[in-house]
């Protein structure tokens, strides 16, 4: 059985893990300052009513908030800043107008924010390549509940709306229920399990970047939030010789997810049909995270094929006795950033006495 302990530690610490940097922190701070400075004025110009700075607050959400962001060169960093505004959604029911005001408040001579379906986004590029983007999902705080501004200019009228949401509850779910370590009364074993779970999420997101990094169709890509939820719900820790082993935990978790996520049936012509089960948000609005992939059966089939291949290759790596061979199998999934063990000369075929 392969272990690859030091290889996974090196891979995680030197390649996979991302903890943020000062540049992004400064950009995020500046954007929030600009928004608070400009949005009330633009709102006043549009509606002739006041929005106070105290009516606006921000919370971090997404992978950056729960420490599962990866440092993959084919994946632009995605920073989510939930922007919560005290608004009467009945009075200000034109969601697109609100998002346009948000876009204009974030805009300057060097920034050209874009309205996307779930947010307003600001991209930062270098030499023509996107380095990272900061997303501003817009929420209206109304009668004790939050509502997400959904829709973009090209959407159908019925798709542009305020949708009930619970971003704070979702962050609590990920952090307190599954991933948070600091500030909770956890025993040492639970802390180690949670650290391993966080690593497994990052490995799977790295795999996604390797397999879908060149895709130009967003609808074909399994969303990271779905993969994170699936790991949280189906994670299985693993130890070898009383030490936590990431290769085995990754294999067991991927296998568990495959068993829960896909269903194979056959039609009357004995043709295989793959069904993708729902992965619902654990908080409002409880929507299916895979709703975009369902637009095409080919997207589902590709996801199934890639995921089950991921599972079978992990199984081969786990069952392989030679560490070098196991490392080469893993490197086919994770790319050349995964470090390979030295060749075991004692057990290599060429070293046998003639």
Report pLDDT digits (tens) over 58-80. Answer: 999 989 889 999 988 777 678 89
Share of the chain above pLDDT 70, in %: 96
Joined together, the tokens standing for residue 58 give 């921000």
Distance of CA 31 to the CA centre of its chain: 22
For 256, residues 6+ apart whose C-beta sits below 8 A from its C-beta are 234, 235, 236
352 pLDDT more than 70: no
For 14, residues 6+ apart whose C-beta sits below 8 A from its C-beta are none
Q: What is the pTM of this model?
A: 0.91
25 pLDDT more than 60: yes
**Number of other CB atoms surrounding residue 256 within 10 Å:** 17
pLDDT tens digits along 80-139: 999 999 999 999 999 999 999 999 999 998 899 999 999 999 998 877 777 889 999 999
Q: How far apart are CA 270 and CA 335, in angstroms?
A: 37
For the CA atoms of 284, 285, 289, 295, the dihedral, rounded to the nearest 10 degrees, stands at 180
Residue 284 in contact with residue 165, Cβ under 8 Å?
yes
- Measure Cα distances from 329 to 55, 209, 323, 350 in Å: 54, 17, 10, 21
Q: How confident is the model at residue 350 (pLDDT cuts 50, 70, 90)?
A: very low
């Amino acid at each position: 059985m392969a272990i690859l302990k030091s290889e996974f530690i090196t891979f995680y610490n030197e390649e996979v893990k991302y903890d943020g940097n000062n540049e992004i922190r400064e950009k995020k701070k500046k954007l929030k300052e600009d928004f608070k400075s400009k949005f009330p004025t633009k709102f006043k110009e549009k509606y002739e009513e006041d929005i106070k700075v105290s009516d606006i607050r921000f919370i971090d959400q997404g992978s950056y908030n729960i420490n599962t962001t990866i440092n993959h060169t084919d994946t632009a960093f995605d920073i989510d800043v939930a922007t919560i505004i005290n608004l009467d959604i009945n009075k200000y029911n034109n969601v697109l107008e609100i998002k346009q005001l948000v876009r204009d408040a974030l805009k300057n001579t060097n920034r050209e924010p874009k309205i996307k379906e779930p947010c307003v986004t600001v991209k930062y590029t270098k030499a023509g390549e996107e380095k990272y983007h900061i997303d501003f999902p817009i929420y209206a705080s109304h009668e004790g509940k939050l509502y997400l501004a959904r829709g973009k200019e090209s959407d159908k009228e019925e798709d542009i709306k305020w949708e009930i949401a619970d971003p704070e509850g979702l962050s609590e779910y990920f952090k307190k229920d599954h991933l948070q370590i600091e500030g909770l009364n956890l025993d040492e074993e639970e802390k180690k399990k949670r650290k391993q779970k966080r690593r497994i999420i990052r490995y799977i997101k790295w795999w996604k970047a390797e397999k879908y990094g060149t895709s130009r169709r967003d609808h074909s890509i399994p969303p990271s939030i779905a993969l994170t939820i699936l790991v949280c719900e189906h994670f299985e820790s693993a130890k070898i010789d009383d030490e936590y082993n990431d290769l085995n935990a990754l294999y067991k978790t991927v296998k568990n997810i495959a068993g829960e996520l896909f269903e194979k049936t056959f039609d009357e012509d004995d043709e295989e049909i793959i069904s993708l089960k729902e992965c619902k948000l654990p908080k409002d609005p409880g929507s299916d995270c895979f709703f975009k992939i369902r637009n095409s059966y080919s997207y589902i089939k590709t996801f199934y094929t890639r995921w089950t291949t991921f599972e079978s290759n992990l199984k081969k790596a786990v069952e392989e006795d030679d560490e070098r061979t196991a490392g080469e199998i893993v490197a086919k999934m994770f790319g050349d950033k995964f470090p390979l063990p030295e060749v075991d000369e004692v057990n290599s075929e060429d070293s046998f006495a003639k």
